[in-house]
């Protein structure tokens, strides 16, 4: 791919977008490969349409902040009640909250960030062996999972680690450069899920084990993202607007920032907190809660400085089975009728992978 091409490429003449996408994909070097090759302009496949650039501001509402919930003292009944109320309010009004004092040592968080960086900063030839667009592969490296569906490509590369239906972490398949740190982080974050799903269950007015009994906390994948510094950040995004096709997402991010969430129809910066983790409600939890909890859109800005590192842990329930999910019966009444039909997680993901990431998958399952 010719990375020296001007981002202001003339619209005169024929522009073969499909050819440029395939060229980028076939290179298997990702966005980092473009930067390493000396790109000083953003290639056209990454440039947002003029209507988006002219009508959508990247500025954030400075007076709003995503709620921060301190999990210390969670074992005390009085404090636990306060935390449940905070989780309920954040899940209903924001769909996002940050947690601190969650029990994962800062050293584990820091090592996971460093391990992700170490993988992405290996020689390209090493990473190419893992490059794949097959979502069934348990460990794979790619750039833009929706490359051929999205309006524009995002300025981001990803190492994906999927754990379908069990707690097996495929240690031999995880790249050796980050294997030990990834296994340690996976162990800690899957322990944290127990507390979070209990809090969410109680916040819905259910027994603490309700969501785990439904196996909403089973099946998980890790997306280890790398956002290189961008020469023209005003023209593209690190990640386009989207909601998560999950029950719950736990995000570890470095201190560079750039993540924004939608709240009251405006973008709000998510200020990184040292030692903190961001938690957000996914589409599947919005469905089973019958819209009590909200799965909100978010995006990542491109920046001149970088790289930005983040690790998203997605909990998406039982994938390879005939288990049906739908609005929880205890939350349904004459006054609050079911808003969604029952579905298989595999059906949901089939729809998710066949659409642009900026289009919600909820519409497919509404009654």
pLDDT digit string, tens, across residues 192-244: 999 999 999 999 999 999 999 999 998 889 999 999 999 999 999 999 999 99
Reported as a pLDDT band with limits 50, 70 and 90, residue 102 is very high
Residue 353 has pLDDT above 80, yes or no: no
26 is a domain residue: no
Give me the pLDDT at residue 7, please.
Answer: 40
pLDDT tier, 53 (very low <50, low <70, confident <90, very high otherwise) = confident
351/290: higher pLDDT:
290
pLDDT at 156: 98
pLDDT of residue 51: 78
The answer to whether position 10 is within a domain reads no
Burial class of residue 55 in the structure, from the number of CB atoms within 10 Å of its CB (0-12 exposed, 13-18 middle, 19+ buried): exposed
Is 291 inside a domain boundary? yes
Give the total number of structural domains in the chain: 1
pLDDT at res. 136: 83
Q: What is the structure's pLDDT at 9?
A: 42
Instruction: State residue 4's pLDDT score.
Output: 40
Residue 3 has pLDDT above 80, yes or no: no
Using only the alpha carbons of the chain, give its radius of gyration: 20
Would residue 4 count as lying in a domain? no
Residue 31 lies in a domain: no
pLDDT digits (tens, 9 = 90+) for 275-334: 999 999 999 999 999 999 999 999 999 999 999 999 999 999 987 778 899 999 999 999
User: CATH no. for residue 124?
Assistant: 2.60.120.330
Task: Please indicate, yes or no, if residue 25 is contained in any of the structural domains.
Answer: no
Residue 67: left (phi > 0), alpha (psi -120 to 50), or beta? beta
Residue 357 pLDDT:
67
pLDDT band at 6 (very low <50, low <70, confident <90, very high): very low
Rounded to the nearest integer, the mean pLDDT of the chain is 90
Per-residue pLDDT at 55: 67
More confident residue, 365 or 99: 99
pLDDT digits 0-9 by tens, 120-132: 999 999 999 999 9
Whether residue 18 lies inside any domain: the answer is: no
Distance CA 65, CA 73 (A): 23
The whole domain housing 106 covers 55-365
The pTM (predicted TM-score) of the whole model is 0.92
Q: What is the pLDDT of residue 57?
A: 60
Residue 8 has pLDDT above 50, yes or no: no
How confident is the model over 266-273, as a mean pLDDT? 95
Report percent pLDDT > 70 for the chain.
90
Q: Is residue 352 part of a domain?
A: yes
What pLDDT is stored for residue 348 in this prediction? 85
Question: pLDDT value at position 347?
Answer: 85
- CA 83, CA 76: separation in Å to the nearest integer? 10
Q: What is the pLDDT of residues 153-202, one digit of tens each?
A: 999 999 999 876 444 546 788 999 999 999 999 999 999 999 999 999 99
* pLDDT at 173 (0 to 100): 87
Closest listed residue to residue 68, CA positions, set 54, 83, 79? 83
Q: How confident is the model at residue 110 (pLDDT cuts 50, 70, 90)?
A: very high
């Amino acid at each position: 791919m010719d990375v020296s091409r001007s981002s202001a490429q003339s619209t005169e003449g024929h522009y073969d977008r499909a050819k440029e996408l395939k060229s980028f994909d076939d290179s298997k070097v990702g966005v980092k490969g473009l930067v390493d090759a000396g790109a000083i302009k953003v290639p056209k496949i990454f440039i947002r349409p003029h209507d988006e650039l002219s009508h959508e501001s990247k500025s954030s509402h400075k007076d709003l902040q995503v709620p921060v919930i301190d999990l210390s003292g969670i074992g005390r009944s009085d404090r636990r009640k306060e935390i449940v109320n905070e989780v309920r309010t954040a899940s209903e009004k924001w769909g996002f909250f940050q947690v601190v004092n969650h029990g994962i040592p800062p050293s584990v968080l820091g090592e996971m960030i460093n391990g992700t960086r170490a993988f992405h900063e290996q020689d390209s030839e090493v990473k190419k062996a893992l490059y794949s667009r097959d979502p069934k592969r348990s460990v794979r490296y790619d750039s833009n999972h929706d490359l051929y569906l999205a309006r524009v490509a995002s300025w981001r590369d990803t190492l994906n680690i999927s754990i379908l239906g069990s707690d097996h972490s495929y240690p031999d398949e995880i790249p050796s450069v980050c294997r030990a740190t990834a296994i340690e982080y996976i162990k800690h974050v899957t322990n944290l899920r127990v507390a979070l799903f209990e809090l969410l269950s109680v916040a819905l007015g259910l027994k603490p084990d309700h969501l785990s009994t439904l196996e909403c906390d089973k099946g998980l994948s890790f997306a280890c993202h790398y956002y290189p510094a961008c020469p023209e950040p005003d023209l593209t995004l690190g990640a386009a607007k989207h909601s998560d096709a999950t029950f719950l997402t736990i995000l570890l991010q470095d201190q560079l920032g750039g993540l924004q969430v939608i709240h009251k129809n405006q973008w709000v910066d998510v200020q990184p907190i040292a030692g903190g983790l961001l938690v957000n409600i996914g589409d599947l939890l919005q469905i089973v809660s019958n819209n009590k909890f909200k799965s909100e859109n978010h995006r990542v800005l491109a920046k001149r400085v970088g790289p930005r590192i983040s690790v998203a842990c997605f909990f998406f329930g039982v994938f390879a089975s005939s288990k049906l999910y739908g609005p929880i019966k205890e939350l349904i009444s004459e006054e609050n009728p079911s808003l969604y039909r029952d579905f298989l997680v595999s059906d949901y993901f089939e729809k998710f992978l066949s659409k642009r990431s900026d289009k919600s998958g909820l519409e497919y399952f509404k009654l």
